[in-house]
Chains A and B, each alone.
Chain A
Amino acid sequence: MLAGNLTLASLLAARWVESGHFPLSNMYESLLFLAWGVTGVHLVVTERDGYSKSAVPGALAAPTALMVVAGATLALPPELQRASALVPALKSNWLMMHVSVMMLSYATLLVGSLSCVSFLLVDATQGFEGAKGALGFLDGLSEGKVRRRNRPRVGADGTVAAVMDAGEFPDDASPVLAGADLMREMDNLAYRCLGAGFALLTAGLISGAVWANEAWGSYWSWDPKETWALITWLVYATYLHSRLVAGKSKKEVATVGALGFVVVWVCYVGVNLWGVGLHSYGWFANK
């Protein structure tokens, strides 16, 4: 993941130097930026203390990043991959701010939604012994940090449950995170990721609106891209609010989060493919 992240970073930097503008002006560049974002977010959430040590999020995030890069390189026609000059509408300092925040929010939301998918996957496999074994194998592969205890477990009345000397306490965290523990971690990871992604999406929507007002005099024109970004925002607001509804199971909440994955892609790529509206820079010839 780290190697992928660094390679993408250098590629983007090289394009920046060569074209003279921030590397986020066409579909190719934004896809690469997204892949960099997905790998980056994954690294951040797995390296931070307290976040999941399980390999399951990475098992979903890495292929996603790979597919993004593959799509960008193999599916886009070569003319669209070339670094080219900016059209007048993009000649603004807002370009860096708005588009990068939006792409970062997509990356974060995608990783968070994938965590929801992880939750649902683990939940679905709870009945299968083989799945537990597979999860154990995956976890063995990841060099996760293990939480260390240096204190004995003590009962409420002060009696010591196990007699040990200070230097001999075993590592407490079990390496095989399966079942309920893993699901709790996935749920929490998803919550934190999607919370951050939601805040970034809010910032992206706002910066887009302010830029639109400076460029076209309207901070909101119900352009398909704007509208789908709002729809994405509403779907993730649904996720965040569903967590608070008494009686909503974690599984239902995770389903909402997982569906968000599709919504982000419709917003990011689907709208551009339709070729209508103010955001149709990349695919079909625009007038």
Chain B
Amino acid sequence: KTIARSLSSLPLAIGEFLVIAGFSALGTVIEQNKGAAWYVQNYPVDEPAFGFIDYPFILNFGLDHIYTEWYFLALLGALAASLTACTFTRQLPVWRVSADWKFLDRPATLLKMEESETLPRARSSDLASLLARRGYQVFVKGKKMYAFKGLIGRLAPIGVHAGLLLTLGGAAYSGLGGLGGSVMVPEGTEFQIGAGLRRGAPFAPTPAVAKDIVRVNDFTIEYLPNGQVSQFFSDLSVVDSKNGREIQRKTISVNVPLREGGVTMYQTDWEIASMQVRVAEVGFKTEDAAATSQGDSGPAPEAEDSATSGSASVELPEGAGESLSLPMANLEGKGNFQGRIWGTFLPLNPDSSDPVEAKRGVTLLARDFQSVAIYASDGSFAGVRRPGSGRPIEVDGLRLVVENMKGSTGLELKTDPGVPWVYAGFAGLMVTSFLSLLSHSQVWAVQSEGGGGTVLHVGGRSNRAKEEFKSELDDVLNQLPE
């Protein structure tokens, strides 16, 4: 009993709020989950932040993953314990006390209240009906009257605590029983659902659907006219691993996930996976190309000038040249590359015995599916092409057409048994936190004789809306006929 009493102490609760707030804030100032090397680089021992925060300090105290460290979780547990203790030792008794209504019969008691007044020649029955019209529940017994409204405002905080406990409990259940992971899947390929559920507690249950396969039929990015991304779409099929039958097919996008068998799949990331190009050596001529170039009065097109050359005369005939599929590498953060960018390399003489010559080639870079930048083997910029435009570029003695780029879709998979509980807690919190704004107002009145006639003593109070109550009572008393 005494443990419960001390756990429900208000100063303790306030202390818990502030310590949790403090550690949470620390976690926003010190970037979390970055990997030890990052902290070594940014918090060096010879120049510690504030004189003492260097990477050993951070890593030893777990400040790189505060929110999953034992002391933080213990703090949350303490808060939950305080919430529980408070609900039982303080709040539920309040319920019993405030639900009891009782008459008061001594004018002196009434006149000591926050709002009190004595009115000559007034009647409690008039007061009763005025209050009833304003939503009070009124009880009259002889010369005594008691009225109240807004009792729910005193009880709602209990609901707030209960809602918080549900939420915290559900979150714990999520942490212990949930599985998750992410996959990056090139379009046209498939993956097993279980491969995306590798992260989680060892005893968390694996859903039956983990055995099944998801096929990525297509991945598309929709762009706005100004080049900005409008939306990401992945066309997915969930296939039964036992018989190959398609269980579900859905095109997901950001904010529109796919749900199957307790697993939810979200569109969260993407990559450029490969580029399809058609390459031919310059000098490759068809009859058409030869005929038109003879009639061409302009200067002969050169590799560096390909961006402005008359493309009609160097059109690469359909099917000519070699079709290659080049895998693209993620170059973000490497060297001087800023932002998301992928690149691929087309070697000119890969079979050469000279090691330097073997590494000479054309570089192709792309930031998105809209355009590709091509660079010659000497590093000079050759031009930009739009995939699928069919327009060739001449570089390093090659005539190259960028035909297509294939993407990979980045999906986040999750199972989360705690969600229903957390959502239930949320719903409770939403309702009760607003109900807690209601003020519990109480009015007592006693009719007595004095001063040559009947006199009405009125006393009242409200727990939250004190000014509003004063005003309301003023109005009511103004309307009281005398």
Q: Which residues of A contact B (CB under 8 A)?
A: 48-52, 84-85, 87-89, 91-92, 94, 147-151, 154-160, 185, 188-189, 191-192, 195-196, 198-199, 202-203, 206, 209-210, 213-220, 222, 224, 227-228, 230-231, 234-235, 237-238, 241-242, 244-245, 271, 274, 276, 287
Contact = CB atoms under 8 A, between A and B. Distances in A.
Contacts of B344: none
Given A203-B434, A217-B416, A234-B17, 7 more contacts: A85-B230, A89-B254, A217-B264, A228-B25, A237-B17, A276-B31, A287-B332
Given A195-B436, A222-B67, A227-B28, A238 B14 contact: yes
A238 B465 contact: no
B433 interface: yes
Nearest to B222: A88
Contacts of B467: 50-52, 185, 188-189, 192
Contacts of A227: 24-25, 27-28
Contacts of A191: 464
Contacts of B13: 241
Q: Which of A52, A160, A222 has the most CB of B within 10 A?
A: A222
A230 B414 contact: no
B11 A245 contact: yes
Nearest to A221: B67
Nearest to B471: A50
A160 B120 contact: yes
Interface stretch (B129-137, B207-215, B419-427): B419-427
Interface string B454-479: 01010000001111111110100110
Interface stretch (B53-61, B319-327, B390-398, B445-453): B445-453
A245 B437 contact: no
Nearest to A147: B474
A245 B13 CA distance: 11
B262 to A, nearest CB: 13
A271 B28 contact: yes
Contact of B228 (A85, A241, A276): A85
B478 A150 contact: yes
Interface of B: 10-11, 13-14, 17-18, 20-21, 24-25, 27-28, 31-32, 67, 107-108, 111, 117-120, 171, 180, 224, 226, 228-232, 253-255, 257, 264, 266, 268, 332, 339-340, 412-414, 416, 419, 422-423, 426, 429-430, 433-434, 436-437, 450-453, 455, 457, 464-472, 474, 477-478, 480, 482
Contacts of B25: 227-228, 231
A192 B21 contact: no
B430 A203 contact: yes
B6 to A, nearest CB: 15
Contacts of B474: 147, 149
A136 to B, nearest CB: 20
Closest 6 CB pairs of A and B: A158-B451, A50-B471, A50-B468, A158-B450, A88-B254, A224-B28
Given A196-B437, A238-B14, A231 B426 contact: no
Contacts of A199: 433-434, 436-437
B327 to A, nearest CB: 22
A50 B115 CA distance: 14
A234 B257 contact: no
A173 to B, nearest CB: 10
A118 B452 CA distance: 47
A170 B180 CA distance: 72
A230 B437 CA distance: 20
A219 B419 contact: yes
B426 A215 contact: no
A274 to B, nearest CB: 8
A42 B82 CA distance: 36
A88 B224 CA distance: 11
Contacts, number: 170
B468 A51 contact: yes
Contacts of A158: 118, 120, 450-453, 455
B228 A234 contact: no
B190 to A, nearest CB: 20
Q: Which of B228, B254, B412 has the most CB of A within 10 A?
A: B254
A17 to B, nearest CB: 19
Contacts of B118: 154-156, 158
A222 B32 CA distance: 9
25 contacts: A48-B468, A50-B467, A85-B226, A91-B254, A147-B471, A149-B474, A151-B482, A154-B118, A157-B451, A158-B451, A192-B467, A195-B464, A216-B412, A217-B414, A219-B419, A222-B24, A222-B32, A224-B28, A231-B21, A234-B20, A234-B24, A238-B14, A238-B17, A242-B14, A245-B11
Contacts of A157: 450-451
Contact of B10 (A91, A147, A203, A245): A245
Contacts of A210: 423, 426
A25 to B, nearest CB: 13
Given A149-B478, A191-B464, A206-B429, A156 B111 contact: yes
B479 to A, nearest CB: 9
A148 B470 contact: no
A151 B28 contact: no
B24 to A, nearest CB: 5
Given A149-B474, A210-B426, A241-B10, A49 B468 contact: yes
Given A158-B453, A227-B24, A206 B430 contact: yes
Nearest to B470: A50
Contact of B171 (A49, A198, A220): A220
Contacts of A92: 255
Given A160-B120, A195-B436, A234 B21 contact: yes
Given A147-B471, A215-B254, A276-B31, A202 B20 contact: no
A241 B426 contact: no
A287 B339 contact: yes
B91 to A, nearest CB: 11
A159 B453 CA distance: 10
B17 A192 contact: no
A163 to B, nearest CB: 12
Contacts of B120: 154, 158, 160
Contacts of A213: 419
B232 A88 contact: yes
A151 B414 CA distance: 69
Nearest to B255: A92
Contact of A214 (B255, B429, B436, B453): B255
Given A241-B10, A245-B11, A88 B67 contact: no
A245 B471 CA distance: 27
A216 B63 CA distance: 25
A50 B255 contact: no
A91 B192 CA distance: 29
B471 A49 contact: yes
